[in-house]
Amino acid sequence: MAPASDYVLVLNAGSSSLKFSVYARPAAQAWRLEARGQIEGIGTVPRFSARGADGATLAREDLGRAVRDAGTALDSLANWLRERFGGGRVLGVGHRVVHGGASHAGPALVTPEVMADLRKLVPLAPLHQPHNLAAIEAVAARLPDVAQVACFDTSFHRGHSAVAELIALPKEIRDTGVQRYGFHGLSYEYVASVLPEAAPEIAAGRVIVAHLGSGASLCAMSNRRSVDSTFGFTALDGLCMGTRPGAVDPGVVLYLFQNLGLSAQEVEAILYRKSGLLAISGTSNDMRDLLQSAEPAARLAVDYFVYRVTKEIGALTAALGGLDGLVFTAGIGENSAEVRRRISEASAWCGIELDDAANSGNAARISRAGSRVSAWVIPTNEELMIARHTGRLLGLT
Ligand code: ADP
């Protein structure tokens, strides 16, 4: 059993998975990761896995079919936490919540009023918000005295200008909440928080952060504040992703309904799960597979991914009125030197000169010393951002 320190639990609940991280009570402002893991296959073939901060496996086991929802998944997690951190107390629970709407410009302590407010946003994020809220309710039912904090993927983008938030539809439609919100905010907020130390010469400048993972977006920052993002009303907009197409002419969606006679559920499945890299390659949504493949369709998928990122870098550079730095983060951004090289080379026009050796070695700074626009790799850490918010709101730090 690990030492019995008090801890903050960070939860990220999806439709069939519950991801968790355990952070020990901070000493001198620094949170210490104790364990992270997930319960996958909730409702089908549930499996539990956990690793320590060093990546060593702490647990891996199949769970019974009784694990069928957020509550029963949480019970399994609680059993493991008691076994592993028996003497430690849960100081608070921080949740990733996809949508905070137009009003939540920061994390919120969970209260009945906040929950009522967040339930109203379910129609804006039907695939994620209900699961995020179900996890909060499941914790409240089991640990009624433990404070919970909701941390939103939209908050970091709330300072956008009126034109950056606008979707030019009739007012009565906009009045129902149709505007550009932006997502991946916890990732961008984390990168912004470490920028002064990781990349001091660009921290106060005009920076594009490229969060390239299975979901992908760009954030334009000025002095570490978000001014625009490629994500809009939903996390379907912008770049091509693993299984999402990115920005699509809305006429295509009309065509799917009117000419192909597809139902709303079919269109939703196409847009969220059957498009993007998977649809172009016909084989995989995993960038690693595509980079290794010699198949023309796989190459086209990578070409298209790079093309779309490059094009949007151009658009956000225009929104910023110029560019000082480009930061890569998330699964593809942190690990694929080839994708970074291709995007950087295609963005040479705006002043990026890559240092090939630094890029191949996954160095922090991957542009040459004289490059007018510098390029960087900064690993993201959304869970740590949630732990920090939770600690701050609960007065632990
Ligand atoms: P998410 O958290 O959204 O699931 P991640 O940020 O973990 O996504 O990114 C996952 C993606 O990162 C994978 O789908 C894979 O395509 C990509 N990836 C991870 N490692 C590499 C690598 N070495 N080269 C290319 N792509 C990679």
Q: Mean pLDDT per segment of 10 residues, for the chain of length 397 residues? A: 76 93 80 94 93 94 87 92 88 97 96 97 91 96 96 97 98 96 98 98 98 97 98 96 97 98 96 97 97 98 98 98 98 98 97 97 96 98 96 89
Which active-site residues does the annotation give? 153
27 and 134 in a common domain? yes
Single out the residue in 119, 152, 185 at which a domain terminates.
152
320 and 257 in a common domain? yes
Q: Give the residue, out of 287, 290, 341, 359, with the most ligand 1 atoms within 8 A of its beta carbon, to mutate for a pocket test.
A: 287
- Gap from CA of 331 to ligand 1 centroid (Å): 3
126 and 31 in a common domain? yes
- Say which residues have a Cβ less than 8 Å from residue 22's Cβ, sequence separation at least 6: 7, 8, 9, 10, 33, 34, 35, 36, 81, 85
113 and 16 in a common domain? yes
111 and 207 in a common domain? no
What CA–CA distance (Å, rounded) separates 294 from 286?
Answer: 15
Q: Which atom, in ligand 1's list, is nearest to the CA of 215?
A: 3
pTM for the predicted model, two decimal places: 0.95
- Gap from CA of 236 to ligand 1 centroid (Å): 18
- The number of domains in the chain is 2
- Gap from CA of 83 to ligand 1 centroid (Å): 32
pLDDT at 196: 98
Which strands make up the sheet holding 30-40, listed edge to edge? 57-62, 47-52, 30-40, 18-27, 7-13, 90-97, 148-152, 108-109
What CA–CA distance (Å, rounded) separates 85 from 320?
Answer: 47
- Say which residues have a Cβ less than 8 Å from residue 296's Cβ, sequence separation at least 6: none
372 and 246 in a common domain? yes
105 and 220 in a common domain? no
Q: Are 285 and 221 in contact (CB under 8 A)?
A: no
373 and 299 in a common domain? yes
220 and 90 in a common domain? no
pLDDT at 87: 78
pLDDT at 382: 96
- Say which residues have a Cβ less than 8 Å from residue 128's Cβ, sequence separation at least 6: 14, 15, 98, 99
- Gap from CA of 151 to ligand 1 centroid (Å): 23
Q: Is residue 157 in a domain?
A: no
Answer positive or negative: Cα dihedral of 48, 52, 55, 57. Answer: negative
| Atom 4 of ligand 1, residue of closest alpha carbon | 214
Return the residue matching tokens 């060593």: 56
342 and 240 in a common domain? yes
pLDDT at 19: 96
What CA–CA distance (Å, rounded) separates 144 from 244?
Answer: 38
Q: Is residue 177 in a domain?
A: no
pLDDT at 127: 86
Single out the residue in 120, 152, 184 at which a domain terminates.
152
Q: What is the CATH number of the domain that holds 235?
A: 3.30.420.40
pLDDT at 29: 67
Q: Which atom, in ligand 1's list, is nearest to the CA of 242?
A: 14
Full domain range(s) for residue 53: 7-152
Q: Is residue 162 in a domain?
A: no
pLDDT at 65: 80
pLDDT at 357: 97
Residues with CB under 6 A from ligand 1: 213-215, 242, 286-288, 291, 330-332, 335-336
Q: Is residue 189 in a domain?
A: no
Q: Is residue 138 in a domain?
A: yes
48 and 129 in a common domain? yes
Q: Give the residue, out of 40, 214, 302, 338, with the most ligand 1 atoms within 8 A of its beta carbon, to mutate for a pocket test.
A: 214
207 and 118 in a common domain? no
Residue type present at position 216: A
Single out the residue in 152, 167, 190 at which a domain terminates.
152
